[in-house]
Structure 1
């Protein structure tokens, strides 16, 4: 029987844990076509999330809880889950249950029927606010135009992929990057399904404005050369404008001698010039910082603790494997 690994990143979701575990147990108790492994990744929660996960009644699936030493972000949590996954297929879900658990079976069916390595669950509709929808649409539009041409218009949160894709991701662990765009750009055979995203019933979304802005910057810097090209174009435009302006000043001086010099014009030029220079340097600095960050080879995440019903068995197997050598 094939196994599916479901990775669930959690961050300060104590109020949702009991309902989440109940829904998972109820659903996978009925699903007999495949076995299920659930990997909860506690992304440095400061509330009662970890203890709630430990004392929850997990059944109908094997489970593992990976706890980070601090908050590293949801994409780092997903990468940790992938590296620890043992399933033939891997997918993601989230503790707020806005994405239905039935997606696991639907994605699995699509993978088997179409015989592909990646299947996406694209949002058909969403219950988010107008501002969130605006950000999502703007982000998707920019990504399609400047980074990944096949980026979906309404975005995605859920994907299922094979062990082949897992191997590629584990061999290329990127920090300050988007794991979804990395999967999207791998080039394996891909299919998609549509689903309706529900509203959050409990708790508050951790997907803050600062995290959205960071994702936007990370996505462009990691997968697009558009910002660097923007710097070059701005520099060329200002160079041409400078040549034109210089020619105009010389012409007026020689022909009419009617241009009075003054500090307002000089100040305006300096403000515009230094402003464009600082913007350009800031964009270049983003690339340099990420190059430095990659060269230091610091861990994308740090695991503080791993617990679960199959963790001890795995440790014993590793121990006997070492002894046998």
Structure 2
């Protein structure tokens, strides 16, 4: 029986995969338990899948190739769905999260924790802007979400068998895995570490994709933007009423003509912007509901290679 599976989503990671594989196998050898590596190729366009197929000559390695690029959240789901025995560790292949930390995660799991997540105390190799935006995102989620999300924590973590079983029941199409990991609850604890620079290759997460992920997280685990749009509308209506009353009173008492075409245009443009903002927020939530109602599968597996087969 497999006690621990290391799940590794990979997309165009051929430049770093050999180094990661060697370090991950070395860690497996030190754990003193029946473990395996499970790679999920998320529709890579380089030779990532060919490398994974080669690794499967080792009976401890399994490879899944998705039919196209479904995104990291779906690739993670595919990998965790394939773990039918024991616990699982989720880790990226870029070696920013060191595989050598896995024994520390296992130690806390053996101490009785169901979810052991790795929290970054430092982020080497990243710009100040990226560190600032990442910190701002986690603190924003902390304030907006009803589900407490650990700060400065990515996907690198260990999940027990019952945590995996609970996660498997959550089949929503708009997936923000960091939030789902926290939402299932159970006993959770953190291990702090210093994140390394990327070993090789280029990051797949530009600022546009990170912004999309942030919007996904906020709209998946908070209705605060809807309430904010409501309160902005109430505040704008109140200000408009007070200002209109003042203009009417001034004209009635002092006989001032109603002037101010520029002011009128500013007010119209401001209210129009508020309305479009509110419609945009509503559209984000409505679009997610539309996606959920179609009930499409989260992913398709094109090929699976187990061990030396």
Instruction: Bin the TM-score by the shorter chain.
Output: over 0.9
Shift of 1:31: 2.9
| Map of 1:88 onto structure 2 | 86
Shift of 1:109: 0.5
Distance 1:301 1:261 in 2: 61
Equivalent of 1:199 in 197, 206, 211: 197
Shift of 1:68: 1.5
Distance 2:66 2:56 in 1: 22
Deviations 1:112-134 (A, max 9, x none): 11x12111111121112211111
| Map of 1:45 onto structure 2 | 44
| Map of 1:323 onto structure 2 | none
Deviations 1:73-106 (A, max 9, x none): 1111110001111331111111111111122211
Identify if the C-alpha distance between structure 1 residues 126 and 87 changes in structure 2 by more than 3 Å, giving closer, same or farther: farther
Shift of 1:155: 2.7
1:13 aligns with 2:10: no
Deviations 1:153-193 (A, max 9, x none): 32333111112111121111222221121111222111111
Matches within 5 A, 1:95-134: 95-113=93-111, 115-127=112-124, 128-134=126-132
TM-score normalised to structure 2 length: 0.94
Name the SS of the counterpart of 2:282 in structure 1: helix
1:293 aligns with 2:254: no
TM superposition outliers: structure 1 runs of 4+ over 6 Å: none
Distance 2:203 2:57 in 1: 25
| Map of 1:252 onto structure 2 | 250
Distance 1:199 1:259 in 2: 66
Shift of 1:232: 1.0
Please say if residues 56 and 62 of structure 2, whose CA atoms lie closer than 8 Å, have aligned partners that are also in contact. Answer: no
Please say if residues 149 and 178 of structure 2, whose CA atoms lie closer than 8 Å, have aligned partners that are also in contact. Answer: no
Distance 1:216 1:105 in 2: 31
CA RMSD, aligned part only?
1.8
Name the SS of the counterpart of 1:79 in structure 2: helix
TM-score normalised to structure 1 length: 0.90
Distance 1:296 1:123 in 2: 37
Please say if residues 21 and 58 of structure 1, whose CA atoms lie closer than 8 Å, have aligned partners that are also in contact. Answer: no
Distance 1:188 1:31 in 2: 24
Shift of 1:228: 0.7
Distance 2:306 2:257 in 1: 79
1:167 aligns with 2:165: yes
Structure 1: stretches of 5+ with no match in the other structure: 313-325
Shift of 1:2: 5.6
Shift of 1:149: 6.0
Distance 1:290 1:66 in 2: 28
Distance 1:248 1:145 in 2: 38
Shift of 1:57: 6.7
| Map of 1:157 onto structure 2 | 155
Please say if residues 167 and 184 of structure 2, whose CA atoms lie closer than 8 Å, have aligned partners that are also in contact. Answer: no
Deviations 1:218-259 (A, max 9, x none): 111110011011011111101111210121111011012224
Ranked by relative contact order (alpha carbons within 8 Å, sequence separation 6 or more), the top structure is 2
Please say if residues 147 and 183 of structure 2, whose CA atoms lie closer than 8 Å, have aligned partners that are also in contact. Answer: no
| Map of 1:188 onto structure 2 | 186
Please say if residues 117 and 165 of structure 1, whose CA atoms lie closer than 8 Å, have aligned partners that are also in contact. Answer: yes
